Amino acid sequence: MRVIGIDPGSRVCGYGVLEARDGEVTHLTSGCIVPKSTLPINQRLKIIYDGLLKVIDQHSPDVMSIEDMFFAKNAKSALKLGQARGVAILAGSNSGILVHEYAPTKVKLALTGRGRANKEEVQSMLSRLLGVQEWETQDASDAVAIAFCHINISQIEKKLGKEFVQTRRRRRRFTIDDLPS
């Protein structure tokens, strides 16, 4: 199975391609698509789309894994991130590959065992697992982490069945209105 991981962004879009075969995971490539920040958003999105199509054509992944949205304090930044995610998902869909989305905490949990691990811990674990000592940027290593997360989760689902790999349910928070009068 060949997986392309995407760390979307309108200024820097990271990508990483991994191949899983016979229990071994191999790092094929990783990098970033960086449009000029002076360009309008529509042109930056087109550059990201074209760049991702080029990477997909070169490496022929079977699956795309992309970082899911997280809550941002700045609404304008969140909208631009959403647009970049949409462009990446469209590139995958137009190339005929399945697209899976993973929350940042799930990616960190799959790699380090902690959902709140910092970026340095994630890079360190990736370096140990894949033998890559230097990462071009944090965006590139994040993209590789997202691809690695998909490989781990898909292997677990394959062995145990999808019904065993469920997300944690949130506890219901009680308020004063829930108490009997």
CA angle 174, 167, 122 (to 5 degrees): 115
Name the catalytic one among 22, 101, 139, 163. 139
Name the catalytic one among 22, 24, 67, 134. 67
In a domain, 35, yes or no: yes
Please, are residues 13 and 47 in contact by the beta-carbon 8 Å criterion? no
Residue 140: pLDDT band (50, 70, 90) is very high
In a domain, 174, yes or no: no
d(CA 85, CA 83): 5
Whether 178 sits among the annotated catalytic residues: the reply is: no
Name the catalytic one among 7, 68, 136, 157. 7
In terms of residue numbers, what domain contains 138?
Answer: 2-165
Residue 43: pLDDT band (50, 70, 90) is very high
- Rounded alpha-carbon distances, angstroms, from residue 18 to 63, 106, 132: 10, 18, 12
pLDDT at 165 over 80: no
In a domain, 161, yes or no: yes
CATH code of the domain containing 98? 3.30.420.10
pLDDT for 172 equals 58
Whether 177 sits among the annotated catalytic residues: the reply is: no
Tell me how long the chain is.
Answer: 181
pLDDT at 7 over 60: yes
How many structural domains is the chain composed of?
1
User: Average pLDDT, stretch 94-112?
Assistant: 92
d(CA 98, CA 153): 15
Whether 67 sits among the annotated catalytic residues: the reply is: yes
pTM for the structure as a whole: 0.85
In a domain, 55, yes or no: yes
Q: Express the helix, strand and coil content of the chain in percent, nearest 5 each.
A: 50, 20, 30
